[in-house]
Structure formats: structure tokens, C-alpha cells
Amino acid sequence: MERELLSAVETLKEYGNMLLGQQIKVFNDHKNLVYKHFNTERVMHWRLLLEEFGPKLTYVKGANNIVADALSRLEIAEEEFSAKGFTNELANELANEEEEFPTGYPLSYKEIAFRQTKDRALQNKFRIQPELHIKMPHTFSDSTYELIAKNDKIYVPKYLQHKCAKWCHLTLMHPDEQRLELTIAQHHTWIGVKSTCMCVCKRCENCTVSKTHDQKIGLLPPKPRQTGNHSLAHTMY
């Protein structure tokens, strides 16, 4: 009973700025909630909170409450919950992900070292500003490569900058420009990292379709500040 009631209370609190003043119906398959009795102080406290919204509690028989019981009444054989079944399912998911998404970082130390030697602007900086651009050894497997670094971060040559930013953007599930820049700056650097990240994000088709940049509608009312140091969820347990 308490868990059923807690779910209704937390939902009304979360969306209270939209639900206050509306006619609300709460459907549940726990018949005790429709009665006006309080078997514990916790239930009485939560019922008082519900009075602020004035919802109508309606009982729906479990057999007719298909949406709520969809997960708990799935016809799943016992062997599907075995460790072997989960292992096979996980292996299939990983195999599909390997085919759809890149699994390894595309810039190897060998390629970075080669492209750095071909980047004339970077080579000039290395000669003119030796105090800022130094060569640092980077080892992968049994091979060691001397890479030009700035502030202890690998300096990505111009040829690989867009490739680096695009791979990070796709692999990290399309972060915005600022998050992408901060992630790249952990290990790599080049002049114009911010502009490169902006270019990659603006040219991303998924971001263009899915993300709204120009907001032309009003904002929702702010949520009321909670008083006290404990929430209802903590009171429950």
C-alpha cells in the first residue's frame, strides 16, 4: 500500500507545477487506497499531501490494468532468466554494437606522429616556440612514438582535428559543443578546438533534427523549493 501511494505522491510532486488546479484522476490496482483510512502515520502524511492536488483515486482491477502490469505479467520462461541466457543476450548486443558504432579510437600514435611531420605549421611552432611545444614519448604495445605536445597534451595536427572531434561526438552520444570541447581537452589540444567542436555539432544530422536550439515558447513555472533535509523517499525506508 505504501509503495503504491508513494508512487502517486512523488509523481504529483514532480509535475506539480503543471498539475496544480487541474482535475486529476489516479488509477491504481490497490483497492485499499480508495478508502479513507490511515493505517500508519506515513500514509496519513502522504494522504494530506495529496489533498493539495485533490485527485480522484479510482480502483482498476489488476486483470484490467494491462499497462501497469505489463512487466510483472510477461510470459517469460525460467531458463531465460538463467546466467547462460543473460550471457548469450549480452554477447548478441555487444556484437550488434560493434557493427553499428566504432569501438576503437581512430587516431593511433603512429598516425599522429606521421601527420605531425607533414603539418608545416605545427613544425614551425615546434622550432620557433620550443618552450611551449615539446616532444614526449608515448608507448602503445611494444612501440614508442615521439609526439609533439603542448601543456602535456598531444597536439593534434590539422589533418586529424575534424576526425578526432567527430569521433568523440558520435561515440559520446552527441554531446553539445561545450561538453565535447572539455572532453577532448583532457588529452588533446590544438588551436581552434572550440570552433572545430561547433562545426562538428552543427553539421551533425541527428543533432539538427533532435535538438532545439532556438526556443520560441514560454518556460514552465518553476518548481517550488523543498523545505527540510529529507524527502518522501527517505521517509519510506
The b/e string for 188-221 (b: 16+ C-beta within 10 A; e otherwise) is bbbeebeebbbbbbeebeebeeeeeeeeeeeeee
Residue 139's beta-bridge partner residues?
Answer: 144
Where would I find the H helices in 15-54?
16-19, 41-51
Cβ 168 vs Cβ 183: under 8 Å: yes
Cβ 6 vs Cβ 236: under 8 Å: yes
Cβ 189 vs Cβ 154: under 8 Å: yes
pTM higher than 0.75, yes or no? no
Q: What pLDDT shows up at residue 116?
A: 93
pLDDT in tens, 77-108: 655 555 555 556 555 655 554 444 344 566 88
Q: Tell me what percent of the residues of the chain surpass a pLDDT of 70.
A: 72
Q: What pLDDT shows up at residue 137?
A: 92
Cβ 126 vs Cβ 147: under 8 Å: no
Average pLDDT over residues 8-36: 83
Residue 129, pLDDT above cutoff 60: yes
Residue 22, pLDDT above cutoff 90: no
Residue 123, pLDDT above cutoff 50: yes
Lowest mean pLDDT among 45-49, 167-171, 232-236: 232-236
Q: What pLDDT shows up at residue 69?
A: 65
Residue 156, pLDDT above cutoff 90: yes
Q: What pLDDT shows up at residue 72?
A: 64
Q: What pLDDT shows up at residue 201?
A: 92
Q: Is 72 left (phi over 0), alpha (psi -120 to 50) or beta?
A: alpha
Residue 179's beta-bridge partner residues?
Answer: none
| Average pLDDT score over the chain | 79
77 vs 203, residue with greater confidence: 203
Residue 227, pLDDT above cutoff 90: no
